Amino acid sequence: MTAPVKIDPRVRIGHVHLRVSDLETAMDFYCDVLGLELTQRVGDQAAFLAVAGYHHHIALHSVGRETGFPQGWCMGKGHFSLLFPSRTALIEAVRRLVAAGVRVDACVDHGVCESVYIRDPDGNHIELCRDRTRDSWPLDEQGVLAMTHESFELDELLET
């Protein structure tokens, strides 16, 4: 038996995405009751909530709307993220996954981070990501966070 591969010890569990039946009710709970801050809202489809100015610790996605989730997904966890300390550490992890035959579902540039989406053997969604520096986060004309959702090819990441 070979020794298990060790993940970079600086990796942290990142944000959680939740599928909710009613975005307003969920926002009331997470913002008004728990005290998280709204950092960005995407109409009646999604809201991104955080503590201390981070881009998001919790994302709420309204199920049944055009959110990018397949129809039929139930309420609950959408995915969790593993936040890597650097682009290099992210690339090393993704290379191990690819070598092990793990299928990459998507690669997305959110403006605030680069993300690679995979599934575990039970189909649970996992996001592997690395944050960009706060001074490079995209802002709209009013200076409000404006995360993006731009796909990129896995080869683009692995070639760097």
Average pLDDT score over the chain: 86
- Give the pLDDT score at 67: 47
Question: Could you tell me how many residues make up the chain?
Answer: 160
At 127, list the tokens: 């996001």
For the chain, the straight-line distance linking the first and the last C-alpha, in angstroms and rounded, comes to 32
For the chain, residues with pLDDT lower than 50 are: 65-67, 69-73
The answer to pTM > 0.95 is no
Those residues whose C-beta lies under 8 Å from the C-beta of residue 32, and which sit 6 or more positions away, are none
Q: Which pLDDT score, from 0 to 100, does residue 20 have?
A: 86
CATH architecture, domain 12-158: Roll (3.10)
C-alpha dist (Å) from residue 72 to 41, 65, 107 = 23, 11, 23
- Strands 104-109, 76-84: parallel, antiparallel or unpaired by DSSP? unpaired
pLDDT of residue 71: 47
Q: Which residues contact 40 (CB under 8 A, 6 or more apart)?
A: 47, 48, 55, 56, 144, 145, 146, 147
- How far is Cα 16 from Cα 58, in angstroms, rounded to an integer? 5
What is the C-alpha separation between 96 and 88, in angstroms, rounded?
13
pLDDT per residue over 110-133, tens digit each? Answer: 999 999 998 887 677 889 999 999
* Dihedral (CA of 123, 76, 10, 91) sign: positive
pLDDT for the residue numbered 68: 52
- Kindly list the domain boundaries of the chain, sorted by start residue: 12-158
